[in-house]
Amino acid sequence: MSIPKLEVAGLTKEYRDGAVIAVDNISFTVESGETLALLGPSGCGKSTTLNMIVGLEQPSSGDIRIDGRSVVAVPAGRRDVGLVFQDYAVFTTMSVRDNLAFGLKVRKTDKAVIRREVYKTAEFLGLTDCLDVRAGRLSGSEQQRVAIGRTLVTKPALLLLDEPLSNLEASARPVVRRELRRLQQELRLSIIYVTHDQTEALSLADRIAIMHHGKIIQAEETLRIMQYPGHVQVARFLGSPPMNILRGRLADAEGGVQFTHAAFSVLFPACALPGGVRERGPDKQYALGFRAEDIILVPPEQGLWKGEILSVEIRGSDAVVNLNSHGSLLQCVVEHKRKAAPSAGLPATRNAGAPDIRPEPEKEGLPATALRAAGANPPASDVFSLRTSTLVGLALAPENIVLFDGDSNLRLESAFVPKQL
Amino acid sequence: MTATAADAAPGAPVLEARELSKQYGRKTALDRVSFSVPPESFVVILGPAGAGKTTTLRLLAGLERESGGDILMDGRSVAGLEPKDRDIAMIFDNLALYPHKTGFQNMAGPLLERKLPREDIRRRVDAVAAKLRVEHILERLPKTMSGGERQRIALGRALVRSPRAFLLDEPLSSLDAPLRFELRSELKRLQREEGHTFLMATPDFTEALAVADTVLLLRAGKIVQASPPEDLYDYPADCEAALFVGSPQIAVLQAEFREGLVHCAGLAFPLPAALEDAAGHMRRAGPDGFLLGIRPENVRVLLHSSSESGTDGRTGGIPGARDCSVGQVTDIESLGLQSVITVCCGREHLRMLCSVAQRARIRIGQDLTFTLADRERLTAFDRVTRRNIIRRADGGRVFEL
């Protein structure tokens, strides 16, 4: 087995003699050619972790190994890691060429080599036309490219990106994300990508480590962590909107297991619940999780339980419906489809065989588009107007329910979660 | 003189801009813009940086003088009225709090200045604090509050007043994403429950779609489109509007209409109903044809050896029709439960959504077969004017041909 590019073991950072624990005994690896995202809200310890890997801060305990060699005692400049900051930090008065050459000049690299490497990097990043332009005159995304290029030119073993897109305009971000993906593919770099934005982590990382209060609460392949969050905090952090979580108790009941929430209860067939759920009783808390995309809205009398529509937020191809269900805010995603135009001069006809889920003619308050619950094709009779204050029924397929232990917040193993994707 | 609701002309919009223009030297910031904001509505001005959003708000607030046109409040011109006499509150992005004052004192500030009775102030602040869910921090100092709590108190400070209209200039843009989503839905709820009239400027289309009753799409000082949010997505006025609204972005591709079929990206299919009476127009457009707008959710990935059916059965039997086409995968971006696949098809790039299971079987560089989910959901644009040429479901048009 090959040695990981980076190995972090039991890393801890305390401040004020342990009064503040910024990073709490975390361990993870970055394999060669892999991108790991450290994802979490501000203040969760991700930047402190990065600073310790770079050598800007000394760990209170734990080890950091690059290519199998401990670097804790190695000074910051000699760890063979490249760091790109959120605010670019390019030398604005220097030309792009001098910015790119900087790291090599400091290392007293041969001039011909510098020239060749600078040009190669500029070519790769599409900066050849502005090599002689002062970096301060470039746009934000161009400056960020210069900052990345300046780091790449020195060929670090590990590239650390600290919120590299946060300062860019919204419209530039998808473009820079695409460039970073190309970089990953063509150069097979080993990268740690620190961000609070799940879009960036999902878009760029092979694996995501979610940090919360200084701890890594889950680290897993990007696709898997999204599908099977292992912790309530992960479930609440990923997804837009994030997973709905309801806390309550379980009790055996006729025909299944009763989940009782503060103000309502739902009977689930026993097969819908994880095998390991044994503990019952008034003191044992469970948390029920289900995705906004998996709720199916039905007429009130047909639902597992009911909710009142608070608001409908149109997103484009779908809409988020905010519901008040017995005092809990639940969110649900419904697909939004443009209605077909009637054939010119002819009355609208249905295409035989095509599922028709258009709503009845416009009612007051109904968005002028067809709306239907995503993830399933409810029969035509299920279509109703999504109007504020309307009472709707909520339905949910049992396989879309995730159960968490209410005390540890950890997911309980379920027959529905495959071991491997 | 103060414009108040008392002397409002019945049925008149709270705010109305008529042919409003603003010149800065020789630069036109705002070019004959007309719109109205009905009572108790939430109107959003959407546009990129430099479109003229802030200029519009500043003119309405009276902070700047218009170069041409008129501004009406409740049907009466407010030209020449000082900002303080317009009964408008303006809310900015950088909402500052007094660090030495409690949450309550910060929120009560504008009411204390007006020397309202103490009980009235208390009642008003408590009511707004309840709406914004900050009752529990009213006695605390800003430095002990989280970022979100501070922003709520700051919004509350503006919202304790009851002016005829609120002008909001990117009020949430400095917040982290989760907080922004939460606060925008609370703003919307507050606006509706209190019956406020809101005019908000934002560069973020998701924000505009989420909260607006009406979106005014502003570009280079002109209103390009004024419509309900779902229409902005379904019937964008032109190519640029289509590209600006929606993520992942729509693909705008060259298309031709010949021998009774639309040809685009290797596909060939009968004319969608929404384009039937535009056919003559397209033929006139000559060999260069027209532009087809295809949203990523309307393209379906077809992987072999799966049960998915490639055809919708509707083009079967039509000579020359091709339900499927093939492109080379150039990019894969995960969105979470779905991924965006970009394929290159001839000279065109097309984006499509796929599931996690499908994504696991797709590699960069491979050939991928795709089909349209529903050709009735395509959008089309004139190649020269770049304006939308489709017919709406209600039979109307975005633009007359």
CA distances in angstroms from B51 to A83, A240, A394, listed in the order given: 36, 29, 42
CA A104/CA A119 separation, integer angstroms:
13
Q: What is the dihedral of CA A384, A386, A391, A395, to 10 degrees?
A: 70
Which of B310, B311, B353, B346 is closest to B328 using CA atoms? B346
CA distances in angstroms from A123 to A9, A97, A98, B223, listed in the order given: 38, 12, 15, 40
B356/A227 Cβ within 8 A:
yes
Chain A's closest residue to B334, CA to CA, is A203
CA B7/CA B382 separation, integer angstroms:
47
CA B200/CA B56 separation, integer angstroms:
10
Q: How far apart are the first and last CA of chain A?
A: 23
When mean pLDDT is compared over B128-137, B329-338, B384-393, the highest value belongs to B329-338
3-state secondary structure of B361: coil
pLDDT band at A255 (very low <50, low <70, confident <90, very high): confident
Please name the residues in contact with B152: beta carbons below 8 A apart, sequence gap of 6 or more.
B132, B133, B134, B183
Check if B249 contacts A (Cβ < 8 Å).
yes
Q: Chain A neighbours among B 228-247 (CB < 8 Å)?
A: 228-231, 233-235, 245-247
pLDDT band at A347 (very low <50, low <70, confident <90, very high): very low
In this prediction, residues A134-159 reach a mean pLDDT of 89
State both tokens at A163. 């919120």
pLDDT tens sequence across A283-313: 788 898 999 998 888 888 887 788 899 888 8
Provide the phi-psi class of A16: left if phi over 0, else alpha when psi is between -120 and 50, else beta: left
C-alpha distance from A27 to closest chain B C-alpha (Å):
25
Average pLDDT, chain A: 81
What CATH number was assigned to the domain covering residues A6-231?
Answer: 3.40.50.300
A-B contacts at Cβ under 8 angstroms:
129
User: What confidence score (pLDDT) does residue B255 get?
Assistant: 92
pLDDT band at A377 (very low <50, low <70, confident <90, very high): very low
Print burial letters for A182-206: b (CB count within 10 Å at least 16), e (below 16).
Answer: ebbeeeebbbbbbbbbbbbbbbbbb
A170/B246 Cβ within 8 A:
no
Taking contacts as CB-CB distances below 8 angstroms, the residues of chain A near B394 are: 368
In this prediction, residues B341-355 reach a mean pLDDT of 94
In this prediction, residues B76-86 reach a mean pLDDT of 90
User: What confidence score (pLDDT) does residue A358 get?
Assistant: 32
C-alpha distance from B142 to closest chain A C-alpha (Å):
18
CA B401/CA B277 separation, integer angstroms:
9
> Which among A174, A317, A344 has the least Cβ separation from residue B277?
A344
When mean pLDDT is compared over A137-141, A410-414, B9-13, B135-139, the highest value belongs to B135-139
pLDDT band at B10 (very low <50, low <70, confident <90, very high): low
> Which among B333, B359, B391 has the least Cβ separation from residue A177?
B333
* Residue A64 near residue A6, CB atoms below 8 Å: yes
3-state secondary structure of A107: coil
Chain A's closest residue to B248, CA to CA, is A174
CA distances in angstroms from B66 to B31, B258, B291, listed in the order given: 11, 51, 38
Average pLDDT, chain B: 88
For residue A62, give the H/E element and its range. Answer: strand A61-66
Across A1-15, A282-296, B275-289, B342-356, least confident range? B275-289
For chain A, the domains span: 6-231, 244-417
Residue A399 corresponds to which amino acid? E
Print burial letters for A141-165: b (CB count within 10 Å at least 16), e (below 16).
Answer: bbbbbbbbbbbbbbebebbbbbbbb
Global ipTM: 0.84
Check if B312 contacts A (Cβ < 8 Å).
yes
Taking contacts as CB-CB distances below 8 angstroms, the residues of chain B near A310 are: 189
In this prediction, residues B118-130 reach a mean pLDDT of 92
Check if B47 contacts A (Cβ < 8 Å).
no
> Which among A222, A311, A316 has the least Cβ separation from residue B233?
A316
Q: Name the residue with tokens 């409040």.
A: B73
